[in-house]
Structure 1
Amino acid sequence: MMPQHAPAARICRDCDGFPTVAITTGTRNGDGTRATLRVTCPACKGTGRSLPAAGLVRVGR
């Protein structure tokens, strides 16, 4: 028998499934560690997955 393929996951096309990242600012904290900013993807709001496209709605006759 041939193996069945799993359905493709809907990964966010803007962040490629990496919804939250840490960006270094170039400065250091008082204890010597680097200062970082945590940024989440605005498209998927930090989930890493995209929503399916809404179906077209026919209006009129």
Structure 2
Amino acid sequence: MTERPRPTSRICPACDGFASVSITLGGRTRAGHLRTITVHCSKCHGTGTTTRRTIALAGGRA
């Protein structure tokens, strides 16, 4: 008997899978590096995926 494939994880609709980004603040340090901050998606908390929702139907069979 063959195994069923695992359900793929869903991509976060808010960030389209790009969960963490670096944003330049403008300007450079004394060493010449750009000053940046890292921002994470607030919906998926930086993972890029969401969990599958299970919908229970009234009177449906399990």
TM-score by length of 2: 0.69
User: % of aligned pairs identical?
Assistant: 40
Name the residue aligned to 1:3: none
Q: What residue in structure 2 maps to residue 45 of structure 1?
A: 45
TM-score (norm 1): 0.70
Unaligned runs of 5+ residues in structure 2 are: 1-6
Runs of 4+ aligned residues of structure 1 deviating over 3 Å after TM superposition are: none
Separation of aligned partners in 2, 1:57 and 1:27: 55
Structure 1 unaligned spans of 5+: 1-6
Give the CA deviation at 1:28. 0.8
| Equivalent residue runs for 1:46-61 within 5 Å | 46-56=46-56
**Greater per-residue strand proportion:** 2
Residue type of the partner of 1:23?
A: I
Report the counterpart of residue 18 of structure 1 in structure 2. Answer: 18
Q: Whole-Å Cα distance in 2 between the matches of residues 11 and 24 of structure 1?
A: 26
Residues 30-49 of structure 1: CA deviation (Å, up to 9, x unaligned): 10110001000010001100
Letter in 2 for 1:45: H
Q: CA deviation at 1:13?
A: 0.5
- How many Å apart are 1:29 and its aligned residue? 1.1
Amino acid at match of 2:39: V
